[in-house]
A and B are shown apart, each in its own frame.
Chain A
Amino acid sequence: MSMDDLVHALAELEEERAVQIAEERLDAGEDPLDILDDLKKGMRIVGDRYEAEDYFIPDLMYAGDIIEQISGLIQEELPEQEEDTVGTVVLGTVKDDIHDIGKDLVYFMFDLNGFDVIDLGIDVPVETFVDAVEEHDPDIVALSGFLTAAFDSMKETVEALEETGLIEEFEEDGLREGRKVMIGGGQITDDVREYVRADGFETDAPGGVKLAKEWLQAEAEVV
């Protein structure tokens, strides 16, 4: 069995085969971290195919489900460990909005791309965001929402973060220095971004990851 088999099985969404290979490799005493690496490689292919519109949301979810099953097998053997992260994201669906599917996809895509994601869940009060930002010192605050009611909740959240000095004041003509705010959801447009005083917006999860990476890279170049 070559190392690429698991990568290939996941990329092709061959559920039974992927789980079986993982089981066999674990039984053979292989380092679970290598298996995890292969899952990430496979998922990167899935993500690329989604962007190329060869794969769709059901495929992303299916891949996520397969990974979850295999991670379940691995967790038992994996020691607690600190991983190098690309960046930290505090994520949540804002107050008065209970939609979680988009938010969960964002979590999944960020997580797989090496971000440390703190998921605050749905219908998240403004204060909870403020507290979490204080505690986790994220590079990015990602606010999700599906309803028009979310626009105001997003705005209130951003205002509270500005007031507490946890993010810079909004720059009309460009990005904030340092920590940035990203918003996302089916009804989000640039008008909403401006209204909310966010630094950027996206309407799908892989787009959000891309934008976050661009921000972090630009920040790194400045430093």
Chain B
Amino acid sequence: MMSLPEPTLESWIGGEGIDFEDEAAREQYRTRAQRYADAILREEPDRVPVAVLSTFYPAFHHGITPETAMNDGEQLSAALLHFVEDLDLDVLAWSTPLVPSARSLEAVDYRGFDWPGDGSSPETVYQAKEPDSMTAEDYDAFIRDPTDYLIRNYLPATFGELEGMAQFPQLISLSLGIASVHPFVLPFGLPEVQEALDALEEAGEAALEWEGIVGATVEEIVASGHPQSVGGITLAPYDMLGDMFRGTRGIMMDLKRQPDTLLEAVERLTPWAIELGITTARVNNNPHVFIPLHKGADRFMSQDEFEEFYWPQLREVIEALLEEGLVPWLFAEGSYENRLESLTDLPNGPMVWHFQNTDMSMAAEAIGDQACIAGNVPTSLLYTSDPEAVRDYSRNLVETVGENGFILAPGVGLDEAKPENVRAMVNSVR
């Protein structure tokens, strides 16, 4: 197997593996990384760090549409450089897969999202569509072999150009010695499988090219002294199942109609969620593992259901990542006020809990002595209000949560916002 680096918070602070522009850049990087790490470790940073978690904000700020951002890597790169320069960022809370190339998505006819120019208007960000390919009756096949389900059911249903993957050989067929070979290779002779492979080749080349332009710009930004705070990414096992396979309605109905089966599937996915977090962090040589929480918020299930279907499996993921020396960054979308009591049972280790609508004094009170808290300047404020109001909100937040163990950040990843308001947020702690 290919050997990958094993990043830790320590190796990240030291900037290991980064080819810095010059000595000054290295110094700046270390100061910023140390500040951020001190906040995470609750070891009194020199000041509160700011993480401008963003998706399309750099594009809007630079005056290009999301459609341009997804189609023109050079312009997206210019936007990223402009974004970093404008805000003199403590950390770059952005990563290339967050804005993929439209050409790559088109080559495989991805149907999981609408994106600008393909379903959404050019000025609009991409939007998740509810999946509908996995029915309530598909659980047996899914639980038996999730990988096989992904290849031969999920891919053809989710990617218009990959319908031929339904003919992909079952990998277990390889266990039959010489009698395996024909059954395994034969499907690759079929035109529909070949078409799928052609589409994958084209999409792969587009992704590689994107990485060469946009990914290289991110590397350049890091090498100029800005640590990147998004490394790996994974999901809570319940969200994985809901987001990708069953959809919001589907998984909510499963919660009511077939809870035992649902639980089995969620548990089946748990080792995968762990593996995904570890691998993506290692590939990017960056210990910060972003875990956006989608379907566990206060109103999305009862507290008992949270304690059975969501939290134990998520906790297992967090614990396993910590054991690998990684830093989970839990992004609790919506409100988590009812969940705080469960969260007090966190595994030991450095992690960030980023809240959107949760009352921040309640959050700090509940888990502030176990984890670093981040958040929660509302996007509504950043978009519709003025710098003074943003500054007041931000300062008040620092006062509420405390200067130690806090990262100032928008409530959710930024798209549209007034640049003067974003600057006011960033400057409020300087």
Whole-angstrom CA separation of A98 from B120 in the bound complex: 9
Contact-residue bracket for chain B:
35 or more
Taking a contact as CB atoms closer than 8 A, the residue among A65, A96, A191 that contacts B253 in the complex is A65
Chain B residues with CB below 8 A from A15, complex form: 256-257
**A149 contacts partner chain B, Cβ-Cβ < 8 Å:** yes
| Interface: A115 (CB within 8 A) | no
Chain B contacts of A10 at CB under 8 A?
A: none
Q: Would you call A151 and B114 a contact (CB within 8 A)?
A: no
Chain A residues with CB below 8 A from B249, complex form:
61, 101
Contact string against B for A residues 181-198, beta-carbon threshold 8 Å, 1 for contact and 0 otherwise: 000001111011011000
- Please, what's the 1-or-0 string for B378-413, where 1 marks a CB less than 8 Å from any CB in chain A? 111101110000000000000000000000000110
Size range of the chain A interface in the assembly: 20 to 34
Are A186's CB and B415's CB within 8 A?
no
- Of A24-32, A52-60, A130-138, A170-178, which stretch is located at the interface? A52-60
**For chain A residues 26-76, which have a beta carbon within 8 Å of chain B?**
53, 55-59, 61-62, 65
Rounded to whole angstroms, the CA-CA distance of A189 and B415 in the bound complex is 17
Decide yes or no whether B123 CB sits under 8 A from chain A. Answer: yes
Q: When the two chains form their complex, are residues A62 and B252 in contact, meaning their CB atoms are under 8 A apart?
A: yes
CA distance A212 to B380 in the complex (A): 23
Say yes or no: A57 contacts B300, CB within 8 Å. Answer: yes
Q: Please give the distance in Å from A184's CB to the nearest CB on chain B.
A: 13
Q: Are B378 and A147 in contact (CB under 8 A)?
A: no
Contact between A62 and B256, CB atoms less than 8 A apart = yes
Interface centre among A61, A149, A189 (most CB of B within 10 A): A149
Instruction: Give the residues from 126 to 174 in chain A that come closer than 8 angstroms, CB to CB, to chain B.
Output: 147-149, 151-152
Q: Does chain B have a CB within 8 A of A13?
A: yes
Contacts of B256 in A (CB 8 A): 13, 15, 58-59, 62
Interchain nearest-CB distance for B301 vs A (Å): 6
A147 lies within 8 A of B380 (CB): no
A158 to chain B, nearest CB (A): 14
B384 touches A61 (CB 8 A): no
Q: Which residues of B contact A59 (CB under 8 A)?
A: 256, 302
Q: Indicate if the CB atoms of B123 and A58 lie closer than 8 Å.
A: no
Whether A148 touches B379, Cβ cut-off 8 Å, given contacts A96-B121, A194-B384, A195-B384, is yes
Chain B: which residue is nearest A205 at the CB level? B299
The answer to whether the Cβ of A23 comes within 8 Å of any Cβ in the partner chain is: no
Say yes or no: is B147 at the interface (Cβ < 8 Å to chain A).
Answer: no
A189 with B253: CB separation less than 8 A: no
Closest to A98 in B: B127
A78 to B380 Cα, complex, angstroms: 46
The residue of chain B having its C-beta at the shortest distance from the C-beta of A190 within the complex is B380
B309 to chain A, nearest CB (A): 10
Taking CB atoms, residues of chain B closer than 8 Å to A65 are 253
Contact B299 A204 (CB under 8 A): yes
Assuming the contacts A61-B253, A99-B127, asked whether A189 and B381 have C-beta atoms less than 8 A apart, the reply is yes
Complex contacts, B300 vs chain A, CB 8 Å: 56-58
Q: Is the CB of B255 within 8 A of A191?
A: no
Q: In the complex the two chains form, what is the Cα distance from A16 to B301 in whole Å?
A: 22
Cβ contact within 8 Å between B415 and A61: no
The smallest C-beta distance from B211 to any residue of chain A, in angstroms, reads 27
Within the complex, the shortest CB–CB distance from A198 to chain B, in Å, comes to 12
A62 in contact with B253 (CB, 8 Å): yes
- A223, B360: Cα distance in complex, Å: 44
Asked if B255 and A58 make an inter-chain contact with CB atoms under 8 angstroms apart, the answer reads yes
Residue of B nearest to A95 (CB): B121
**Contact present for B385 and A191 (CB under 8 Å):** yes
Taking a contact as CB atoms under 8 Å apart, the answer to whether B301 and A96 are in contact is no
Give the chain A neighbours of B257 by CB distance below 8 A.
15, 62
Residue B248 CB within 8 A of the other chain: yes
Shortest A12–chain B CB gap in Å is 12
Is there an interface contact between A191 and B415, defined as CB atoms closer than 8 Å? no
Contact: B417 with A148, CB < 8 Å? yes
Apart from A15-B256, A56-B305, A95-B121, list 10 A-B contacts with CB within 8 A. Answer: A55-B302, A56-B302, A58-B252, A61-B249, A98-B114, A147-B415, A151-B383, A186-B334, A189-B378, A191-B378
The 29 listed contacts between A and B (C-beta, < 8 Å) are A56-B299, A56-B305, A57-B300, A57-B301, A58-B255, A58-B256, A58-B301, A59-B256, A61-B249, A62-B253, A62-B256, A62-B257, A65-B253, A99-B127, A101-B130, A101-B248, A147-B125, A147-B127, A148-B380, A148-B416, A148-B417, A149-B416, A186-B357, A187-B412, A191-B380, A191-B384, A195-B380, A195-B383, A195-B384
* B contacts, CB < 8 Å to A: 114, 119-121, 123-125, 127, 129-130, 248-249, 252-253, 255-257, 299-302, 305, 333-334, 338, 357, 378-381, 383-385, 411-412, 415-417
